[in-house]
Amino acid sequence: MLIVALDETRFHQLADDTIETLSDHIDDEMGDDLDVDLQSGILTIELDSGEQFIINKHGPNRQIWMSSPVSGASHYDFDEDNESWTSTRGSTTLTDQLSADLAVKTGRRLDLD
């Protein structure tokens, strides 16, 4: 697995595209059941219970960060080999973790890749 520091321009492009794609896909598939809001590059997914998933980019570390009511806080580096955001704590991808956590809370598993 090759994880290299992205240059700033590429990081912002990849992170913005990823967050926007997640927002669109989750809103399209689950928007009737969740409040999906993308403002200033911060994706907030709110459940009926008031619990929230928050996904945003962290420029200084060139990472995407996620806060989840299921798995807690996690950070993701871009893995060039797999073209995915991979956890700094293991091999889990952002999309796999978010999909699994949403399934715990909603009973529906989305394919976010």
pLDDT tens sequence across 17-26: 999 999 999 9
Q: How confident is the model at residue 5 (pLDDT cuts 50, 70, 90)?
A: low
Query: In 10 A of CB 78, how many CB atoms?
Result: 22
Kindly state the average pLDDT of the residues 25-44: 95
pLDDT at residue 2 is higher than 70: no
Which residues are registered as beta bridge partners of 81?
A: none
Kindly state the average pLDDT of the residues 85-98: 96
Q: How confident is the model at residue 84 (pLDDT cuts 50, 70, 90)?
A: very high
User: Residue 69: which region, alpha, beta or left (left: phi > 0; alpha: psi -120 to 50)?
Assistant: alpha
pLDDT at residue 80 is higher than 90: no
Query: What backbone torsions phi and psi does residue 4 show, to the nearest 5 degrees?
Result: -125, 155
